[in-house]
Amino acid sequence: MSPTAHKFDSTILREYDIRGVVGKTLHPADARAIGRSFGTMVRRKGGKRVALGYDGRLSSPELAAACIEGLTAAGVNVVNIGLAATPMLYFAVWHLDADGGIQITGSHNPPDYNGFKMMMGKKSFFGADILKLGELSAKGDFESGQGSVEERNILPDYAARLLKDVKPGRKLKVAWDTGNGAVGVSIRAVVEKLPGEHFVLNEQVDGTFPAHHPDPTVPKNLEQLIAEVRRRGCDLGIAFDGDGDRIGAVDGKGRILWGDQLMILWARDVLKERPGATIIADVKASQALFDEILRAGGTPLMWKTGHSLIKTKMAELKAPLAGEMSGHVFFADTFFGFDDALYCALRLLNIVANGRESLAEMRDKLPQLVNTPELRFDCPEERKFKIVEEVRERLKQAGAKLNDIDGVRVSTPDGWWLLRASNTQAVLVARCESANEAGLERLKNDLKTALAQSGVSLPDEASAGH
């Protein structure tokens, strides 16, 4: 293949990954150029071998084949692990000691989307790396060679590694909803080796997602799991997003536990073995999480939202645990520090199976706060960061108590409110949390006032959430 310059649609090179609408902004030619550019970067760092996997979307096999063409044309040897969840690809990079990894996945986006999540060596590939990839492609500045392709079944090794950290305890009854996503490939290899009874929903990988959309942060997508938990009298239920790097959970009463509530349970568990350790959560997480980390003898750190940003900070501080409100959770105490929802589920099962209380009882004892769901509202790309800046400057001048690590998170006697610009979409994101409804209303009014001064109105659905 002769090196030819290739320009990507300007919307697909994102902060954390590459993502677009298949047939509109993303085509096989883009996948080929991504493979060629990424392979070039691997070669120039002295590497030679890249692991590649793809999710269950209808467009994934074709994009994977094109990406492999690009990688091999750059002189890179490809280990193709085939259909797999994203964490299984991350595992392959570590297990095979590869020089990089590419997962073709649309994650939890609608079926017509697809994209690429990458690792350079054992690290996240994001931000400036993705911009560099785009520049190499636009110039046609590629390495050339003739790489090889090896097909590899990594599932037995992956399942064995996940099961290694299972602690025997009382037998549980668990419902699992893979949402027709890529975790369907690996779920049986894991749950069939676990004690207790396990019921798997929507196991068949299907890129049309016939049962429901695979995003466990949306309550509607958990309705089927909740019904199954209640019908079978399960101890808990676990849900996954489309590519298996985000977790959702419900207790035996069918109540949702959000990412920051689950993080409290995991943090307490990790801190028993590692007292004083730093535990990281993103700016959207409940204040209760940071307070509970402190109470359990840990050092809480609030950090920027974004799985690549959190993974990077975690490696820098050697933190044993980090997590996001969105359900990306990273264990580095006895695991690799990447976001694997199936591994996270096993760590949750360990806590329940070896504790005296049910998950429902644990949930009842968590701090009970009222908050809005994550509020996302459209804002022009060129205005979103400026609005946050304007709000921050006005608040600073007014002497407000705020954290500006990622947007603005304002603390008041009523609780806190957050405003930040999304790194991946033309939207602003807001959230409020208080000890009671009256306090929540006051916080929402504070947020509305701050936005109004920049000519933005808060959408009507800013109602109390979990």
User: Which amino acid type is present at position 204?
Assistant: Q
- 386 and 350 both lie in a single domain: no
In a domain, 9, yes or no: no
pLDDT of residue 3: 66
Q: Where is the domain boundary, 329, 347, 365?
A: 365
Both tokens of 290, joined, read 């940071």
- 279 and 174 both lie in a single domain: yes
In a domain, 334, yes or no: yes
- 202 and 291 both lie in a single domain: yes
Q: Where is the domain boundary, 321, 342, 365?
A: 365
- 333 and 448 both lie in a single domain: no
pLDDT of residue 373: 85
CA distance 260 to 429: 17
In order of 225, 250, 307, the CA distances from 221 in angstroms are: 8, 12, 22
Both tokens of 170, joined, read 């009382």
User: Which amino acid type is present at position 117?
Assistant: K
Our count of domains for the chain comes to 3
- 84 and 183 both lie in a single domain: no
- 125 and 257 both lie in a single domain: no
Residues 378, 379, 382, 387: is their CA dihedral positive or negative?
A: negative
Straight-line distance from the first to the last Cα atom of the chain, in angstroms, rounded to the nearest whole number: 54
In a domain, 466, yes or no: no
Residue 54 phi, psi (nearest 5): -150, 155
Residue 183, Ramachandran bin (φ over 0: left; ψ between -120 and 50: alpha; else beta): alpha
Q: How many CA atoms lie within 13 A of 280 on its CB side?
A: 27
In a domain, 7, yes or no: no
In a domain, 341, yes or no: yes
Q: Which of 104, 44, 36 is nearest to 70 (CA)?
A: 36
Both tokens of 347, joined, read 């760590």
Please list the ranges in the chain whose pLDDT falls under 70.
1-3, 460-466
Task: List Cβ neighbours of 382 (8 Å cut-off, separation of 6 or more).
Answer: none
In a domain, 30, yes or no: yes
What's the CATH code of the domain at 175? 3.40.120.10
Residue 263 phi, psi (nearest 5): -60, -35
- 394 and 305 both lie in a single domain: no
Q: Which residues are catalytic?
A: 107
- 92 and 74 both lie in a single domain: yes
DSSP one-letter code for 338: S
- 60 and 80 both lie in a single domain: yes
The per-residue pLDDT for range 79-127, each reduced to its tens digit, is: 999 999 999 999 999 999 999 999 999 988 889 999 999 999 999 999 9
Q: Where is the domain boundary, 302, 336, 365?
A: 365
Q: Which of 54, 107, 102, 58 is nearest to 246 (CA)?
A: 107
What's the CATH code of the domain at 415? 3.30.310.50
Torsion of CA 216, 299, 363, 198, to 10 degrees: 50
* Domain of residue 69, residue span: 18-153
Contact 448, 458 (CB under 8 A): yes
In a domain, 459, yes or no: no
CB count in 10 Å sphere of residue 326: 25
- 122 and 149 both lie in a single domain: yes
pLDDT of residue 464: 36
- 309 and 169 both lie in a single domain: yes
Angle 419-397-290 (CA atoms, 0-180°, nearest 5)?
45
- 177 and 296 both lie in a single domain: yes
CA distance 329 to 307: 9
In a domain, 8, yes or no: no
